[in-house]
Amino acid sequence: MSQRAKAITDSTPRNATRRRYESPLTGRYGSAEMSYIFSPQFKFSTWRKLWVALAVGERMLGLPISEKQIKQLEKHVDDINFDVAEAKEKEIRHDVMSHVYAYGQQAPDAKGIIHLGATSAYVTDNTDLIQIRAGLELVAKKLVNVINALAKFADEYADLPTLAYTHFQAAQPTTVGKRACLWIQDLLLDLEDIERVHDTLPFLGVKGTTGTQASFLELFAGDIKKVQRLEHLVAESMGFDRVLAVSGQTYTRKLDYRALAGLCGVAQSAHKFANDLRLLAHLKQIEEPFEKEQVGSSAMAYKRNPMRAERMTGLARHLIVLIMDPALTAAEQWFERTLDDSANKRIAVAEAFLTADVVLEIYLNVASNLVVYPEVIKAHLAAEMPFMASENLMMEAVKRGGDRQELHELIRQHSQDAAREVKEHGRPNDLLQRIASDEAFASVHDKIEEITDPRRYVGLSAQQTREFLRMQVRPVLKARRAWLGLSGTVSV
């Protein structure tokens, strides 16, 4: 190592609290709600709740567990002695048994019955499923609020004609509201997927070391009904009405994949919206909010960079890539259990939910504060309208006695000449002026303004927008109105 590199690595920062890497997903971007779901406090409190639920169920079914032991466990569900658990884990290299030990230190009368009959996956996997369910609910809430913000926007601009683009080339006009409906439609599909996974997510239950429940059958002296009843009691106490019928030691890792596939869908939709907005910002038609004191560029003071949309794009890309982790993990599992999933799951699942949360926070912030420039939109449309209206002008002239083939050739020549003026000399599109001065089109000179009205070319855009909002969007929002009222925060 060079002396310079060694000096850098050996140097001590002035602020010692900044000496370790901190994930931007929690330290810079993420919401407190999603960060809490994947926090040590939530995780290990849930472990303790699961141990309490297990002990309560076992006591109800006749095992020698006292009310005093239960109460002592309940007393210390949330005040976790992390220092004791961390010290013990360094000694024995097992996180679950370290926390069993730490819990037993706080509840000494109950330490002998904590985790009775269970294996590690009882707390780790059931907690993972509880975290996933909570994360999916928060994602669904934020999706609904983004949909609501875009619905208001679509309704407001349902009638405003704008150029549509195919291949990012000017195409037949649409309306600003209709384009927003395309964004909403994608999010409705995402919401459907997220809620389906949330509503059908099963509990692992109490399955034992290889999923056979042999240890619990032994505890209850071969009483099958008591083993089945215990699993039902624990699942019910943790808020689940569905339990996996079969498993190995762990739940099938395809459940992780299903959850992250829903989040990946959210990322795809957000990425498309963000890219569309970045292009619209370049065209100066629609922009994300830009605050009074915000700096667009460190060098170019005049710039208004679409930093929110760019951040959405980058984070959504990261989330899309993360889907590979649970896919490969599900494919890799051997028989009833391997441990190559554990370290990966700690990172991939939590990061996916945290990333989805940040993306939706930004999306909600932007969608609630979009800045529209109608005059710029009108100017872009006007620049292309002569080409689009030429067919209608020709047909109207034919109706009034003109020769279709002759008029077609004249339109072709005028269009090419006008395009050349625009592309080679940067001049305005003068196609309409050329047609207006051509005697072959004299019969339609009085109709040019009417025929070039953009509203004639947007088809059913406004009607589709209002029908879509009425039939597809508002029923979804009404059914979830208790979730509305969130605001998206962009901290930096």
Are the CB atoms for 488 and 370 separated by under 8 Å?
no
Helix (H, G, I), strand (E, B) or coil at 179: helix
pLDDT at 288 over 80: yes
**Dihedral (Cα; 72, 75, 80, 84), 10-degree rounding:** -30
Nearest of 377, 8, 10 to residue 165 by alpha carbon: 377
Q: Output the CA–CA distances (angstroms, integers) from residue 306 to 146, 168, 356, in the order listed.
A: 19, 19, 20
Each residue of 309-354: pLDDT tens digit?
999 999 999 999 999 999 999 999 999 999 999 999 999 999 999 9
Q: What share of the chain is helix, strand, coil (3-state, %, to 5)?
A: 70, 5, 30
Counting every residue written for the chain, the total comes to 492
297 noted as active-site residue: yes
Catalytic residue among 66, 297, 437, 487: 297
282 noted as active-site residue: no
Report residue 273: phi and psi, to 5°.
Answer: -60, -45
Structure tokens at 303: 């710039």
Classify residue 284 by its DSSP letter. T
Say what the pLDDT of residue 31 is.
87
Q: Which amino acid is at 260?
A: L
What is the CB neighbour count within 10 angstroms for residue 39?
Answer: 15
- The correct CATH number of 120-291+302-372 out of 1.20.200.10, 3.90.226.10, 2.40.37.10, 1.10.10.10 is 1.20.200.10
Compute the distance between CA of residue 353 and CA of residue 340 in angstroms, rounded to an integer. 21
Structure tokens at 34: 């999603």
Which CATH fold would you assign to the domain 37-110? Fumarase C; Chain B, domain 1 (1.10.275)
Structure tokens at 485: 């009222």
Each residue of 411-430: pLDDT tens digit?
888 888 888 888 888 888 88
Specify the residue for token string 């890309």: 317
Compute the distance between CA of residue 224 and CA of residue 384 in angstroms, rounded to an integer. 76
Say what the pLDDT of residue 397 is.
75
Compute the distance between CA of residue 13 and CA of residue 9 in angstroms, rounded to an integer. 10
pLDDT at 112 over 50: yes
pLDDT at 7 over 80: no
Please give the share of the chain, as a percent, with pLDDT higher than 70: 93
Question: Angle at CA 6, nearest 5°, toward 5 and 10?
Answer: 120
Compute the distance between CA of residue 278 and CA of residue 313 in angstroms, rounded to an integer. 10
Say what the pLDDT of residue 355 is.
97
**CATH 1.10.275.10, the chain: domain bounds:** 37-110
Q: Thinking of the domain 376-457, which architecture would CATH place it in?
A: Orthogonal Bundle (1.10)
For the entire predicted model, the pTM comes to: 0.90
Say what the pLDDT of residue 14 is.
57
Say what the pLDDT of residue 108 is.
97
Compute the distance between CA of residue 358 and CA of residue 59 in angstroms, rounded to an integer. 43
**CATH 1.20.200.10, the chain: domain bounds:** 120-291+302-372
DSSP run (H or E) holding 371? strand 371-372
Catalytic residue among 2, 167, 298, 425: 167
Q: How confident is the model at residue 436 (pLDDT cuts 50, 70, 90)?
A: confident
Say what the pLDDT of residue 302 is.
45
- For the chain, state the CA radius of gyration: 31
